[in-house]
């Protein structure tokens, strides 16, 4: 068994996908002009990984974390070469977490910045219907990449993956496959992180790039949250104390990137008993005043976060 040398040691890093909602848009907290997610080394005095994550996220960003769960563990061999922690040829193992919070205002120009996550994944936003980018730009380039393979089996495999992940660019779309779509685009050399000296990528078209593997980590966090909101009401971690049902629907749509059927959504919320009226009326809605609701936490605790199906519209 080969023992690691001093220059091939492993460094443990914690990386946070910290999500908030602002004006019906999903925001992610970033550093260095949007190029990085908040991250830092795991210190030996941290009793647990999650305690360490909460400590340095709240210290660096001034944002207390609410709901937190671990995502996956990533390893990027090239981080040290790009600057990382200044370690020569050391493997950085990044343990990633998803955290939900309510957005706070930044305190200065050097503070972390909230960015809309659709700036990084513009093809994932189907709230207004079909995303033109998929049919017009992505699918033709992916098919060209697939057809360029001289191996018939490889070509068939690529075509199948394209169909599963991107469908026909019109109606067939699985909002949960965020990571798989990004990895397919990376493999095809269509995202800026995959660019080499031999070709250039249209960065604005294929989303804002991030350093290291942070956009892949972000894709993982988005996919996890999109899946999670279908069976656990974690969306309430992102909501204000009081909200209208329309605000709740817009929040879920923002996270899922898909429209919801209004009547079905409200019927579901009523059947699940997840909210209760506050007795107040919103003064900030256009037209007819809307009732304000709050999250019925006791109901959720009693039901142990039971399954909740969201009526995502397929039309």
Domain final residue, candidates 64, 88, 117: 117
Does 99 lie in the same domain as 27?
Answer: yes
**Residue 217 domain-assigned (yes or no):** no
**Residue 131 domain-assigned (yes or no):** yes
Tens of pLDDT, residue by residue over 175-220, are 999 999 999 999 999 998 887 544 555 556 889 999 888 999 999 9
Does 129 lie in the same domain as 113?
Answer: no
**Residue 154 domain-assigned (yes or no):** yes
Does 93 lie in the same domain as 55?
Answer: yes
* CB burial readout 173-184, b (16+ within 10 A) else e: bebebbbbbbbb
CATH number of the CATH domain containing 76: 3.90.79.10
**Residue 215 domain-assigned (yes or no):** no
Does 91 lie in the same domain as 70?
Answer: yes
C-alpha to C-alpha distance for 275 and 54, rounded to whole angstroms? 28
Most confident option among 35-49, 82-96, 296-310: 35-49
8 Å CB contact between 168 and 130: no
Q: How confident is the model at residue 171, as a pLDDT? A: 81
DSSP bridge partners of 68: 99
Does 252 lie in the same domain as 192?
Answer: no
Does 188 lie in the same domain as 161?
Answer: yes
110 pLDDT more than 90: no
**Residue 225 domain-assigned (yes or no):** no
Q: How confident is the model at residue 65, as a pLDDT? A: 75
Does 145 lie in the same domain as 179?
Answer: yes
Burial-class residue 60 by CB neighbours within 10 Å (0-12, 13-18, 19+). middle
Burial-class residue 6 by CB neighbours within 10 Å (0-12, 13-18, 19+). exposed
C-alpha to C-alpha distance for 60 and 52, rounded to whole angstroms? 12
Q: Is 158 helix (H, G, I), strand (E, B) or coil?
A: helix
Maximum C-alpha span of the chain: 72
Torsion of CA 32, 33, 38, 41, to 10 degrees: -20
**Residue 222 domain-assigned (yes or no):** no
127 pLDDT more than 90: yes
Q: How confident is the model at residue 111, as a pLDDT? A: 61
Q: How confident is the model at residue 141, as a pLDDT? A: 94
Does 78 lie in the same domain as 19?
Answer: yes
98 pLDDT more than 80: yes
| 146 against 93, higher pLDDT | 146
Does 236 lie in the same domain as 296?
Answer: yes
The domain tally of the chain equals 3
Domain final residue, candidates 176, 207, 238: 207
**Residue 15 domain-assigned (yes or no):** yes
Tens of pLDDT, residue by residue over 292-306, are 999 887 766 665 555
| 253 against 84, higher pLDDT | 253
Least confident of 129-133, 147-151, 194-198, 218-222: 194-198
Q: Which residues constitute the domain of residue 78?
A: 6-117
- Looking at residues 102-118, what average pLDDT do you find? 71
Domain final residue, candidates 117, 142, 170: 117
Does 132 lie in the same domain as 97?
Answer: no
Confidence of residue 155 (pLDDT cuts 50, 70, 90): very high
**Residue 223 domain-assigned (yes or no):** no
Q: How confident is the model at residue 286, as a pLDDT? A: 64
């Amino acid at each position: 068994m080969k023992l690691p040398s001093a220059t091939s040691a492993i460094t443990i890093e914690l990386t946070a996908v910290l999500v908030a909602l602002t004006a019906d848009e999903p925001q992610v907290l970033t550093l260095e002009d949007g190029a990085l997610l908040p991250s830092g080394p795991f210190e030996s005095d941290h009793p647990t990984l999650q305690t360490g994550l909460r400590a340095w996220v709240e210290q660096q960003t001034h944002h207390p974390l609410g709901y937190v769960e671990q995502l996956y563990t990533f390893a990027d061999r090239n981080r040290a070469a790009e600057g990382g922690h200044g370690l020569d040829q050391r493997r950085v193992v990044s343990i990633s977490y998803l955290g939900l919070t309510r957005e706070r205002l930044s305190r200065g120009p050097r503070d972390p910045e909230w960015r809309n996550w659709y700036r990084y994944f513009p093809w994932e936003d189907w709230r207004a219907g079909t995303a033109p980018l998929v049919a017009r730009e992505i699918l033709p380039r992916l098919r060209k990449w697939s057809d360029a393979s001289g191996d018939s089996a490889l070509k068939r495999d690529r075509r199948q993956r394209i169909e599963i992940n991107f469908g026909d660019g019109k109606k067939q779309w699985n909002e949960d496959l965020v990571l798989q779509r990004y990895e397919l685009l990376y493999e095809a050399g269509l995202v800026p992180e995959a660019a080499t000296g031999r070709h250039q990528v249209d960065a604005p078209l294929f989303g804002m790039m991030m350093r290291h593997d942070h956009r892949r980590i972000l894709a993982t966090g988005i996919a996890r949250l999109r899946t999670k909101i279908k069976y656990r009401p974690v969306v309430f971690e992102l909501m204000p104390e009081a909200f209208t049902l329309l605000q709740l629907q817009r929040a879920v749509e923002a996270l899922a990137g898909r429209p919801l059927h209004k009547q079905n959504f409200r019927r579901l919320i009523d059947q699940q008993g997840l909210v209760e009226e506050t007795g107040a009326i919103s003064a900030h809605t256009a037209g007819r005043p809307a009732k304000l609701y709050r999250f019925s936490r006791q109901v959720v605790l009693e039901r142990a976060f039971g399954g909740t199906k969201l009526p995502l519209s397929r039309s």
